[in-house]
Structure 1
Amino acid sequence: MKTSTFSLLFMFLACIPILSGCKQQTPKVGILLHSYENDRWTKDKDYLVENLKKLGAEVMLEVADNNQQKQIAQAQDMISKGAKVLIVVAINQDEAGQIVDMAHKENVKVIGYDRLINNCSLDYYVTANSTQIGGLMTSYVTSLKPRGKYAIIPGSKYDNNAMKIFIGQMNVLQPYMEKGDIQLVYSEFTEAWTPAEGSLHTNAILDQNGDSINAIICGSDAITDGVLTTLKERGLEGKVMVTGQDAELDNIRDIVHGTQTCDILKPLKEMAQTTAELAVELATEKPLTMKFTTESNGKVLVKSVLIDATVVNKNNIETTVVASGFHTSAQVNQ
């Protein structure tokens, strides 16, 4: 009888961890994307979902088609369905603060992904280092032509990343300008990250300067597409240095063909992995394992992770874009 009682007690104690484990729910993490306006964002989505699932999270995914009110409604729906953490690519970085406010009322954490959310108590921010990116693209073109007329189109005036890019660009250009070697003849932000905006600003640059412009430094490949189209239409294809960012396949091919000078390969895999790890740690209330810097969003200093990017040029495509698995050599050289 004693043996039987001991055995039953042992079995009961052994089952306690199993029974306790059954009570633990799979952490729910919501991803709120702004749109799939170019291929880069499909990669972000795939990397985020893959990493979150590897870490055992249940993933909720919504795309707002660049409609901020739609994204706010999607966030509310995710919160009501039990999301513990939201990963947000904001459309309007001021209006998206409503998502943070709603989330905090239900004790849900918010991570700004790639884009900062302004004037709210945003919890975390994971992004590429946009100031470094602006410096990289500008350093490369100035190394090729340290004298001449330059124009810069940093990006959307509604995106904090564009301002950071601008700061990085000016950090490099300023010494050349002070010596009189480089003349900055045009510097304007855009309404959006689109080819139409790139074309609009390039026409303005050329109308003001004719064919004397030496470089147009752009903050994204979407803008660059419009720049390249307009240069071709006006007989200047391959005659003006042009930069981009996002390493879109067509733009890498343009580098191969000599119509684009350089691009920026953003660390999307590392950004997604870092964001997924942070999200799951927050959702499961585990101690955070990563180190943070801070970025001001106008209200608070947001705990942030800034990851450096890589410049891509004609000589290093194989060791950057191809080696990272972003595009294959066959795709680039089609």
Structure 2
Amino acid sequence: MKQTFMKVHILLFMLVFILVVTACQQNKSRLDHQDMPDDSLLNKETSASDIEADDKIVIGFSMDTLAEERWLRDRELFKEAVEALGAEVKIFTSKGDDALQILHAENLINEGIDILVIVPHNAESTAMIVKKAHAAGIRVLSYDRLVRNSEIDLYVSYDNEMVGELQAKAITKLVPKGKYVYIGGAETDYNAHLLKKGVFNILQPLIDKGDITIVYDQWTKDWHPENAFTNMEEALKANHNEVDAVISANDATAGQVIQALAEQGLSGKIPVVGQDADLAAAQRIVEGSQTMTVYKPLKKLADQTAELAVKLAKGEEIEVERIINNGKSEVPSILLSPIAVDPKNIDETIITDGFHSREEVYKKNNSN
């Protein structure tokens, strides 16, 4: 009996001991929970800190080329505009290589940019970049050149069809009848097609009347000026130098067209038009070997694109007045108005704007 009592006593003691220890542990657990910050709260605080540190909008800028004067300007002006808005820009140039441009864009997307701005080399193949960016939740803005067959978020450019119309209007005033040569841009660049469409909006009625005959019409592969030189040589040879006017897709190609004419003693005798208002073109206009160019104030384009890119990155709504079909979707578009420049207004346009200085433009002419 006594042994049974002792066993019960021991069991009761052990039970009480276990209850006390358990209560202490639970109490300690509650104290520990109160003393230590909650894991989710810690994560929230860390995330907030990270967001504050990384609040700067990062824009990826994928460019086709820097081989021409205007694209060097675009790069610097866009960088300045982005940084003036408190954002950051990462710039890659693909040198006319489609595969490299796609690789660069993938790298930018993987780096976690907020928005991608792209100047496509190939308007068709670049659609792959848009798809990859969207899959990563990144919106895409097409700068100056339209990406085809994709659901691009916004397109900002000068009205390229109007550029072609300005070229054709200027040259048909000088040569209302005759044999015309058309030296286009790169066939892979949709802008080149828009330029050509604008040109033929003006030329076609005159062609239909029989006043104008297109005796040579060729694209310039990759916009390389040396290809334009070859094309113009072929045009002159095929027509025994009997050409009355030349429309060239831009100033770089126009320069080589004029070089080909010069080798035949025809520079300054046959009107040649271009676009971009390159310094060399402005000098040629002053000296008389190029008839006109089309000025597209690049600062205005860069500033507006930078502003819109930041808004897109923040998820803000953008109102547009133009919609352009790119073969797959209706693309919200903002198209700025270009300006025709000839010897009569060169001072009040590109020189007054500071695009080129008077000394630069007239230097070559004054040295003669």
Question: Same fold by TM-score, threshold 0.5 exceeded?
Answer: yes
Q: Is the 8 A contact 1:194 1:226 kept in 2?
A: no
Of 165, 186, 199 in structure 1, the residue corresponding to residue 195 of structure 2 is 165
Displacement of 1:22 after TM fit? 3.5
2:146 corresponds in structure 1 to 116
Flag structure 2 segments of 5+ consecutive residues without an equivalent.
Answer: 1-47, 364-368
SS at match of 1:155: coil
Superposed CA deviations along residues 137-176 of structure 1, whole A, max 9, x for unmatched, are: 1101111221211111121111111111111111111222
Q: Which amino acid aligns with 1:303?
A: P
Counterpart of 1:326 in structure 2 is 355
**Contact 2:221–2:227 at 8 Å: present in 1 too?**
yes
Does 1:29 find its partner at 2:59? yes
**Residue 190 of structure 1 is aligned with which of 182, 205, 220?**
220
Q: Sequence identity, in percent? A: 34
Q: Helix, strand or coil: the match of 1:192?
A: helix
Q: Which stretch has the larger CA shift, 169-178 or 157-166? A: 169-178
Q: Are the counterparts in 2 of residues 267 and 307 from structure 1 also a CA contact under 8 Å?
A: no
The 5-angstrom pairing of residues 127-276 of structure 1 reads: 127-276=157-306
Whether the 8 Å contact between 2:320 and 2:332 is mirrored in structure 1 is: no
SS at match of 1:210: coil
- Per-residue CA distance 1:240-271 (angstroms, 9 max, x = gap): 11011111111110111111111111132221
Give the structure with higher Rg (CA): 2
For residues 186 and 165 of structure 1, the distance between their equivalents in structure 2, rounded to whole angstroms, comes to 17
In structure 2, what is the Cα distance between the partners aligned to 1:202 and 1:22?
57
1:308 is aligned to 2:332: no
Structure 1, unaligned runs of 5 or more: 1-17
**1:19 Cα deviation from its structure 2 partner:** 8.5
Partner of 2:324: 295
- The residue identity in structure 2 corresponding to 1:244 is G
Partners of 1:22 and 1:149 in 2: how far apart?
64
Deviations 1:178-211 (A, max 9, x none): 3322222222222221221211111121112223
Structure-2 separation of matches of 1:251 and 1:144: 19
Q: Distance in 2 between matches of 1:27 and 1:285?
A: 12
Letter in 2 for 1:297: N
2:343 maps to a residue whose letter is: K
Q: Which structure carries more relative contact order (alpha carbon 8 Å, separation 6+)?
A: 1
> Whole-Å Cα distance in 2 between the matches of residues 22 and 101 of structure 1?
29
Cα distance in 1 between the residues matched to 2:64 and 2:217: 27
Show the 5 A alignment for 1:60-99: 60-99=90-129
Secondary structure at the counterpart of residue 235 of structure 2: helix
Once residues 22 and 111 of structure 1 are traced to their aligned partners in structure 2, the CA distance between those partners, rounded to angstroms, is: 26
Instruction: Name the aligned partner's letter for residue 261 of structure 1.
Output: T
Q: What TM-score do the two structures reach when normalised by structure 2?
A: 0.82
Q: Measure, in 2, the Cα distance between the counterparts of 1:24 and 1:250.
A: 43
Deviating more after overlay: 22-31 vs 245-254: 22-31
Query: 1:234 Cα deviation (Å)?
Result: 1.1
Tell me, what secondary structure is at the counterpart of 1:216? strand
Q: Deviations over 1:54-96 (max 9, x none)?
A: 1111111111122221121211221222211111011111111
Aligned mate of 1:44, from 74, 98, 109 = 74
**Letter paired with 1:279:** A
Deviation at 1:273, TM superposition (A): 1.5
Contact 1:147 1:182 in 2 (8 A): yes
- DSSP-derived class of the 2:223 partner: coil
Provide the rounded CA distance (Å) in 1 between the counterparts of 2:303 and 2:357: 21
Describe the SS at the equivalent of 1:286. Answer: coil
Q: Any idea what SS the aligned residue of 2:324 has?
A: strand
Instruction: Provide runs of 4+ in structure 1 moved above 6 Å.
Output: 18-21
Q: What is the DSSP-based 3-state SS (H/G/I as helix, E as strand, rest coil) of the residue aligned with 2:240?
A: helix
In structure 2, C-alpha distance between the alignment counterparts of 1:128 and 1:267, rounded to whole Å: 9
Distance of aligned partners of 1:279 and 1:259 in 2 relative to their CA distance in 1, 3 Å threshold: same
Change (3 A) 1:268 1:224: same
TM-score when normalising by structure 1: 0.90
